[in-house]
């Protein structure tokens, strides 16, 4: 074996190894021999002497002492088991990590060894308080999910697609457009992401759990697999689990998550498809919440991806935001994507929108200035506070010739923003009407925050202060 070879692959590729063994260096009894050993998976770390060796050496076995005796070159040899209680005798068994360390340090030209199978250890950057729980629920983190596909005899088939994932891996999808046309739609309500964040007020510690392969953990109904058949250069295959691209896959997955976590949702768990967030007020509470969630995952035979999980942290990236006890921040990776945007069409700010009008598209100087200003404002957004429903909400609004906007806050910390561009019809209305329209639209947008409780409204338009005292309102104001 060459020095630059992979020692792990070298050992794994062998079905048989020729091993050189040597007895204790005793002048009266010196024994050196070479034997062929079959490499098999064993729980016990023993060297078993097979019948061919016993036949060739004409050995005699003492069952009580567990020894083998024979003669070689006129010398009487007795092979006895290693006594681990003898401190003067060093063990000849090495773990795989010890063997690799020795190989890297010495770099021998040729090296043979029998290594002991080791249990995979938990990643070192995992908090020590979480490691015992991860060891207890080790079967929740498999290396892969078996039984995804099988060979198919389906009368129909579609093309398979490889979609790149973060980290260089690929996700295989199939073209389900034909199948989706005949599937009865099932619409399970999916919460807005902003509504999920409203439940995190007061949380100090979080753990993010990423379920491995998402939809691939839900079994298809038997005898329905043929509908998902796809063709490759190696033949025709079909999915045994739900694949990406199936019409009802998102709704079915959300239904499953709502069903198994129904006791925890809103208390200490929020989830958005395959991303789950465990949040707690203190460490002891978080450890108990962690155990409860993983007990459910183990009982339901759902698997997580350890490499994408984050445990017992005070700050975690959840989808597009960075969530901490202080509030909500923009994810730095998303900020970089925004700052590197090239100039393009958008409908967010008025100068850029104006470029879309007319028969030709012209990117003006004003549009470029608006676009640069937009990138700066988005990437330097303030930290959003998590709403506290036991405190009074405040919202401010304003209107201009181009649009309306509003800010919802508590204790002078922003919670959410709202804006809307006015169309040509609204440009003709008076400032009073525009300000009044800003109130209506803001209340409608934040009705789930403001309607159940009292709130404070701030306005810089003096005339709106007397709207409740007017004896007669115009028809569109009354609506």
Q: Is the pLDDT of residue 9 over 50?
A: no
Residues 6+ apart with CB under 8 A from 74: none
User: CA neighbours within 13 Å on the CB side: how many for 216?
Assistant: 17
pLDDT score for 121: 46
| pTM score | 0.54
- Is residue 333 very low, low, confident or very high in pLDDT (cuts 50, 70, 90)? low
Q: Is the pLDDT of residue 451 over 60?
A: yes
- Is residue 287 very low, low, confident or very high in pLDDT (cuts 50, 70, 90)? very high
pLDDT score for 386: 82
Cβ atoms of residues 237 and 157 within 8 Å: no
CA dist 147 and 287 (Å) reads 33
pLDDT score for 342: 54
CA dist 300 and 244 (Å) reads 21
Give the chain's domains with CATH numbers: 39-78 (no CATH), 128-330 (3.30.70.270), 332-380 (no CATH), 393-469 (3.10.20.370)
How many CB atoms are located within 10 Å of the residue 312 CB? 20
pLDDT score for 358: 64
Most confident of 102-106, 235-239, 320-324, 471-475: 235-239
Q: What is the DSSP string of 206-262?
A: EEEEEBTTGGGGSBPPTT-GGGG-EEETTEEEEESBPPTT-TTHHHHHHHHHHHHTT
CB neighbour class for 62 (10 Å; exposed up to 12, middle 13-18, buried from 19): exposed
DSSP helix/strand/coil, 443: helix
Q: Is the pLDDT of residue 114 over 80?
A: no
Q: What is the DSSP letter of 381?
A: P
> Taking the mean position of all CA atoms in its chain, how far away is CA 369?
38
Give me the mean pLDDT over the 140-163 stretch: 85
Percent of the residues in the chain that have a pLDDT greater than 90, as a whole number: 8
DSSP helix/strand/coil, 360: coil
Question: Rounded mean pLDDT of the chain?
Answer: 76
pLDDT score for 341: 56
pLDDT score for 285: 92
Give me the mean pLDDT over the 181-196 stretch: 83
- Is residue 344 very low, low, confident or very high in pLDDT (cuts 50, 70, 90)? very low
Q: Is the pLDDT of residue 27 over 60?
A: no
CA dist 364 and 362 (Å) reads 6
Pair of tokens at residue 247? 């019409």
- Is residue 2 very low, low, confident or very high in pLDDT (cuts 50, 70, 90)? very low
Q: Among 129-143, 296-310, 322-336, 369-383, which is the least confidently predicted range?
A: 369-383
Cβ atoms of residues 101 and 258 within 8 Å: no
pLDDT score for 122: 43
User: CA neighbours within 13 Å on the CB side: how many for 41?
Assistant: 2
- Is residue 92 very low, low, confident or very high in pLDDT (cuts 50, 70, 90)? low
Q: Where are the beta strands (DSSP E) in 319-382?
A: 321-324, 327-330
Q: Is the pLDDT of residue 7 over 50?
A: no
CB neighbour class for 3 (10 Å; exposed up to 12, middle 13-18, buried from 19): exposed
CA dist 77 and 32 (Å) reads 10
pLDDT score for 286: 92
Q: What is the DSSP letter of 124?
A: T
Q: Is the pLDDT of residue 14 over 50?
A: no
DSSP helix/strand/coil, 25: coil
pLDDT, greater one: 384 or 330: 384
pLDDT, greater one: 43 or 198: 198
Q: Is the pLDDT of residue 16 over 60?
A: no
> Taking the mean position of all CA atoms in its chain, how far away is CA 227?
29
Tens-place pLDDT, residues 308-329 = 888 998 888 887 778 887 778 7
Tens-place pLDDT, residues 240-276 = 888 888 888 888 899 999 999 999 988 899 988 888 8
Tens-place pLDDT, residues 28-82 = 456 677 766 666 655 555 556 777 777 888 888 887 777 888 887 777 888 777 6
């Amino acid at each position: 074996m060459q020095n630059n070879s992979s020692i792990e692959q070298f050992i794994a590729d062998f079905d048989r190894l020729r091993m050189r063994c040597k007895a204790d260096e005793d002048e009266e009894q010196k024994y050196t021999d070479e034997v062929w050993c079959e490499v098999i998976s064993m729980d016990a770390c023993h060297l078993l002497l097979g019948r061919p060796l016993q036949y060739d050496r004409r050995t005699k076995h003492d069952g009580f002492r567990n020894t083998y005796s024979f003669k070689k070159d006129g010398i009487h040899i007795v092979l006895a088991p290693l006594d681990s209680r003898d401190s003067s005798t060093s063990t000849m068994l090495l773990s795989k990590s010890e063997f690799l360390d020795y190989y890297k340090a010495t770099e021998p030209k040729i090296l043979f060894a029998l290594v002991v199978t080791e249990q995979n250890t938990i990643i070192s950057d995992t908090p020590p308080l979480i490691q015992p729980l991860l060891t207890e629920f080790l079967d929740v983190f498999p290396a892969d999910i078996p039984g995804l596909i099988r060979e198919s005899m389906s009368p129909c088939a579609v093309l398979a697609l490889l979609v790149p994932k973060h980290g260089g891996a690929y996700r295989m999808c199939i073209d389900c457009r034909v199948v989706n046309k005949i599937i009865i739609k099932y619409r399970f309500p999916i919460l807005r992401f902003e509504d999920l964040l409203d439940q995190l007020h007061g949380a100090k510690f979080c753990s993010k759990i990423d379920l491995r392969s998402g939809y691939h953990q839900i079994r298809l109904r038997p005898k329905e697999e043929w509908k998902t058949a796809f063709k490759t250069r190696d033949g025709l295959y079909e999915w045994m689990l739900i694949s990406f691209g199936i019409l009802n896959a998102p709704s079915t997955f959300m239904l499953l998550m709502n069903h198994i976590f129904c006791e925890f949702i809103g208390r200490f768990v929020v989830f958005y498809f395959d991303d789950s967030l465990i949040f707690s007020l203190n460490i002891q509470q978080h450890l108990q919440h962690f155990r409860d969630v993983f007990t459910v995952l183990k009982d339901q035979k759902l698997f997580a991806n350890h490499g994408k999980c984050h445990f017992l942290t005070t700050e975690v990236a959840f989808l597009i935001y960075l969530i901490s006890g202080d509030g909500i921040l923009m994810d730095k990776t998303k900020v970089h994507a925004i700052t590197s945007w090239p100039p393009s069409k958008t409908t967010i700010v008025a100068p850029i929108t104006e470029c879309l009008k007319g028969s030709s598209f012209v990117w003006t100087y004003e549009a470029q200035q608006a676009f640069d200003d937009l990138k700066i404002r988005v990437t330097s957004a303030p930290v959003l506070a998590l709403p506290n429903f036991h405190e009074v909400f405040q919202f401010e609004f304003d209107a201009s010739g181009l649009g309306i906007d509003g800010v919802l806050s508590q204790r002078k910390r922003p919670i959410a923003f709202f804006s809307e561009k006015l169309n040509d019809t609204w440009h003709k209305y008076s400032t009073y009407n525009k300000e009044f329209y800003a109130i209506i639209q803001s209340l409608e947008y934040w009705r789930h925050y403001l309607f159940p409780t009292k709130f404070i409204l701030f306005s810089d338009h003096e005339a709106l202060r007397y709207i409740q005292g007017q004896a007669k309102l115009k028809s569109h104001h009354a609506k």
